[in-house]
């Protein structure tokens, strides 16, 4: 039985050249077709997907690229530092990379964030092709042109908007992804269900593992992001809804020195955002409870220790979504009806956190 044709989801950000997110199997060859006109290409990758990076390098050479350099990056968020960026700049300089050349990111969300930032800053912007190899990368991080690195005070505080030339999602690469990484990545899919597409929630309630219908889940989540990015490429309005659950999530990641998976932190953040929506009188009990129920069935964490609350609040004050001294949260007025809650009273924040705090991570 032949494999189905790849799905192509167009992203048309205002003022930018449209590009496709390609979702399918055996599609790595598409990277070469996107960058065949380049002379030099830097391929940045994570060690677990070294084989895929090597195949992409071979495809690029076959497509006529004269110089291909493969550079392995540190694992996870450790890749997203200015020191790693500087090393990548040095390699591009050694290659003699010009504005006609390109960067390819092969790996999870940290790799694609870093690759996008390197491409955005080299000569004020060269092409980047993203090849996400994790669930988070496919359904969220690699799509939409957000790039960034971390600082000592927070996650993604330094970055740029830089749309890719294309995003190639080869689902074959997920076969070796550890089960806990696959599960954690689904929190970004769940988020899409709560803010825009309730069918996603129905599919995950039918199969909480997300494996039997992952392609449809990925296509639906990517379509949500494509729609939002096409309408608001630089987070001046609508795109903020994609931050649902992320204000607390980023604070948890920073508090854990990035030893928690992004998806696990997002899971707790989603429950907190739902509880904040409930406390503010904007979300009904059934819809708020559905967050915790579904995420628990998926084996994701839904609580965080009570004693961490003062520290988390301090971290949230320097979140990118804050405005001046006011915290700013994406909340729900119903499933598929996101809105903004700006400067919530301390009692609302305390009530929401009390609902998610506990003695353990799960």
Catalytic residue IDs = 124, 146, 188, 225, 235, 239, 243, 246, 250, 262
Composition of the chain by helix, strand, coil, percent to 5: 50, 20, 30
Residues 51-69: b if buried by 16+ CB within 10 A, e if exposed: ebbebbbebbeebebeebb
Report the C-alpha gap between 138 and 324 in whole angstroms: 33
Helix (H, G, I), strand (E, B) or coil at 158: strand
CA torsion sign for 148, 298, 249, 11 is: positive
DSSP code string of 42-67: EEEEEGGGHHHHHHHHHHHHHTT-SE
- Find how far residue 130's CA is from the centre of its chain: 12
Give, for 44, the enclosing helix (H) or strand (E).
strand 40-46
Tokens coding 72:
């392995």
């Amino acid at each position: 039985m032949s494999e189905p044709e790849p799905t192509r989801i167009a992203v048309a950000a205002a003022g930018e050249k449209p590009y496709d997110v390609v979702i399918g199997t055996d599609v790595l060859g598409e990277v070469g077709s996107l960058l065949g006109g380049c002379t030099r290409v830097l391929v940045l990758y994570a060690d677990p997907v070294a084989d895929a990076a090597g195949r992409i390098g071979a495809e690029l050479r076959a497509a006529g690229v004269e110089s291909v350099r493969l550079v392995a990056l540190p694992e996870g968020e450790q890749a997203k530092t200015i020191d790693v960026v500087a090393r990548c700049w040095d390699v591009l300089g050694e290659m003699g990379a010009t504005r006609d050349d390109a960067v390819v990111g092969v790996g999870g969300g940290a790799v694609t964030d870093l690759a996008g930032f390197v491409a955005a800053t080299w000569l004020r912007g060269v092409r980047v092709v993203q090849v996400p190899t994790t669930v988070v990368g496919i359904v969220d991080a690699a799509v939409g042109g957000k790039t960034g690195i971390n600082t000592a005070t927070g996650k993604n505080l330094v970055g740029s908007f830089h749309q890719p030339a294309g995003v190639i999602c080869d689902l074959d690469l997920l076969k070796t992804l550890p089960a806990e990484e696959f599960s954690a990545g689904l929190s970004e899919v769940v988020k899409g269900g709560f803010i825009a597409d309730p069918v996603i929630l129905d599919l995950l309630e039918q199969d909480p593992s997300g494996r039997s219908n992952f392609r449809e889940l990925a296509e639906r989540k990517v379509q949500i992001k494509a729609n939002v990015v096409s309408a608001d490429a630089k987070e001046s309005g609508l795109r903020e809804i994609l931050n649902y659950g992320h204000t607390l999530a980023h604070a948890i990641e920073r508090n854990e020195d990035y030893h928690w998976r992004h998806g696990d932190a997002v899971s707790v953040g989603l429950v907190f955002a739902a509880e904040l929506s409930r406390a503010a009188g904007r979300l009904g009990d059934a819809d708020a409870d559905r967050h915790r129920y579904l995420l628990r069935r998926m084996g994701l964490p839904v609580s965080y220790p009570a004693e961490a609350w003062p520290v988390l609040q301090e971290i949230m004050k320097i979140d990118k979504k804050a405005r001046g001294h006011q915290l700013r949260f994406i909340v729900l007025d119903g499933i598929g009806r996101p809105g903004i809650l700006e400067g919530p009273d301390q009692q609302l924040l305390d009530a929401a956190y009390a609902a998610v705090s506990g003695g353990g991570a799960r």
